[in-house]
Structure 1
Amino acid sequence: MNSTNDVSPKTIIIKDTTGNPAPLGLLGFGMTTILLNIHNAGIYELDSMIMGMGIFMGGIAQIFAGLQEWKKNNTFGATAFTAYGAFWLSLVALWLIPKTSFGAEYKSSETAVAWYLLLWGIFTLFMFIGTLKLNRLLQVVFFTLTILFFLLALGDFTGNKSLHTIAGYEGIVCGGAAFYGCVAQVINEVHGRKVFPL
């Protein structure tokens, strides 16, 4: 008599019941991008409203969404939201550190900021290539964001303020697309059908 227990492999299926973090990330990115680019377009000055949004919505909310995307095994979403969340926090740091007693001598030159924006533009260009396998909305967001970073970088490299103004209006379109993406995903999920196309 064989006393060995018959052990057969079993498959465990785990159902993901967590919500979609993408709308939060798109909202954090979209709202903050719109508000900053209204400033870039010359409509109002850079102020604490933009910085507050940059820290909490553009920064913390996006990083939180990115971490949730990581839990959902979405490498693209995790990378995008976490990286751009960190972008917003670093951008606010660039503005605020020189205002402190210890950071005044570390104020970034326009050329340094131009290189910063250029690298973000290159990263965004590669992320745009990734969207070619995703929905049209994300293609619009990342394409317009790539243009935005390159326009802002060129404006800082050349000192041409008109480029910043043009970038401002283009950035409002970019942020608006992300904002729309948030609304579309939330409304479509609530209604259980495609109300707003992506």
Structure 2
Amino acid sequence: MHNNTLANPGPLGLMGFGMTTVLLNLHNAGFFPLTSAIISMGIFFGGMVQIIAGLLEYKKGNTFGLTAFTSYGAFWLSLTGIWLLPEMGLAEPADATTLGIYLALWGIFTLFMFFGTLRANRALQFVFASLTLLFALLAYGHITGNAVVLLFAGYEGVVCGASAIYLAMAEVINAQLDRQVLPTGEPRRASVLASALSQA
């Protein structure tokens, strides 16, 4: 008899998002310039891997995971396009206002996605809440030209990315050890149901 249990692609997508977000926002916080390391991470791990994770969520019937991972994968690919296309002579550089509007649209999308996490664990809620704030800070900072806000956004973005890394590793380690080693703040109703099922 074949085991048809599918692996959870969520940690892969979360890690692709989290590590890329931390790396870029260390740059935003002023620790180092925008280099090929950030661009490569954005294309391959933040971009392609998240899209792959999203397509795997489709296989599992997870509409939220499909929408989130494929969208944020496309975000990273489009962001690297904003950086690279002008360098290649294929498009005009985006000005600060256009970039701010671009980030604001992603913030609106993320806010709606946050509402979709309200019945999920607290760790996932924190990822989307902090990401919504990050996009709001970046959009405001670019549109107004406020360097202090952009610097603060860098630090806030590191926290956001780190929370996604934590959740990814919690899901991997908890599943691998078949017990909750790293807490994710499961909703009480889900925890009670899981306890009842384990005792059945």
Q: Flag whether TM exceeds 0.5 (same fold).
A: yes
The equivalent of 2:19 in structure 1 is: 31
The RMSD of aligned alpha carbons is: 1.1
Deviation at residue 133 of structure 1 after TM alignment: 1.1
1:96 and 2:55 matched: no
Q: Distance in 1 between matches of 2:28 and 2:71?
A: 22
Secondary structure in 2 aligned to 1:18? coil
Q: Residues 4-42 of structure 1, C-alpha deviation per residue, up to 9 Å, x if partnerless?
A: xxxxxxxxxx97412100000000000000000000001
The equivalent of 2:197 in structure 1 is: none
1:48 and 2:36 matched: yes
Q: Residues 88-126 of structure 1, C-alpha deviation per residue, up to 9 Å, x if partnerless?
A: 0000000000001333xx111110000000000000000
- What runs of 5+ residues in structure 2 fail to find an aligned partner? 185-200
Which residue among 18, 34, 55 is the counterpart of 2:6? 18
Which residue among 128, 134, 150 is the counterpart of 1:142? 128
Q: Distance in 1 between matches of 2:93 and 2:175?
A: 45
Which residue among 131, 143, 146 is the counterpart of 1:160? 146
Secondary structure in 1 aligned to 2:8? coil
**Counterpart residue identity of residue 48, structure 1:** S
Aligned positions, number? 183
Select the structure of larger CA radius of gyration.
1
Q: Distance in 2 between matches of 1:68 and 1:74?
A: 9
The equivalent of 1:109 in structure 2 is: 95
TM-score w.r.t. structure 2 length? 0.89
Moved runs in structure 1, 4+ residues, more than 3 A? none
Q: Distance in 2 between matches of 1:89 and 1:142?
A: 20
Alpha-carbon distance change, 15 to 76 in structure 1, aligned in 2, over 3 angstroms = farther
Deviation at residue 186 of structure 1 after TM alignment: 0.6
**Counterpart residue identity of residue 19, structure 2:** M
TM-score w.r.t. structure 1 length? 0.90
